[in-house]
């Protein structure tokens, strides 16, 4: 943190073909480990106690057509890093508590201090 990584990621976004799409920045180190999956991939209605009616999109869906900047990726739990790799390979996500594949079209930029 404090090295301007997000500024560089925003500049890449602003100069690229996805500049008209959203730019979503996520500090992976600031998300409690039990919430990383629902924050990034979203969740379906009834997926867990307190889940919103109708579910909620995750950061990947919100960044569709644009750029998702994952800062402090090294702080993300390893099991979620494995899920992230699958998402990048398959270009689709599945919300927690759902089985429907949702195609994604997003540039992912990652940074870490490790």
Number of domains, the chain? 1
Q: Please report, for the domain that includes residue 61, its CATH number.
A: 3.40.50.300
pLDDT in the model for residue 3? 65
Per-residue confidence in pLDDT tens, the chain, 114 aa: 556 899 999 999 999 999 999 999 999 999 999 899 999 999 887 777 666 787 889 999 999 999 999 999 999 999 999 999 999 999 999 998 889 999 999 999 999 887
Q: Are residues 12 and 67 in contact, defined by beta-carbon separation less than 8 angstroms?
A: yes
Measured in whole angstroms, the distance separating CA 112 from the mean position of its chain's CA atoms is 15
DSSP 96: B
Note the pTM of the prediction, 2 decimals.
0.89
d(CA 32, CA 89): 25
Q: What percent of the chain has pLDDT over 90?
A: 70
Look up the domain containing 46 and give its range: 5-110
């Amino acid at each position: 943190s404090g090295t301007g990584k997000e500024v560089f990621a925003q500049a890449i976004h602003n100069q690229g073909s996805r500049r008209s799409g959203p730019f979503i920045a996520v500090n992976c180190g600031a998300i409690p480990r039990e919430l990383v999956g629902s924050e990034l991939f979203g969740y379906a209605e009834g997926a867990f106690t307190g889940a919103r009616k109708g579910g909620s999109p995750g950061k990947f869906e919100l960044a569709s057509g644009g750029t998702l900047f994952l800062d402090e990726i090294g702080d993300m739990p390893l099991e979620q890093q494995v899920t992230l790799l699958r998402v990048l390979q398959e270009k689709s996500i599945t919300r927690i508590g759902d089985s429907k594949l949702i195609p994604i079209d997003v540039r992912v930029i990652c940074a870490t201090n490790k």
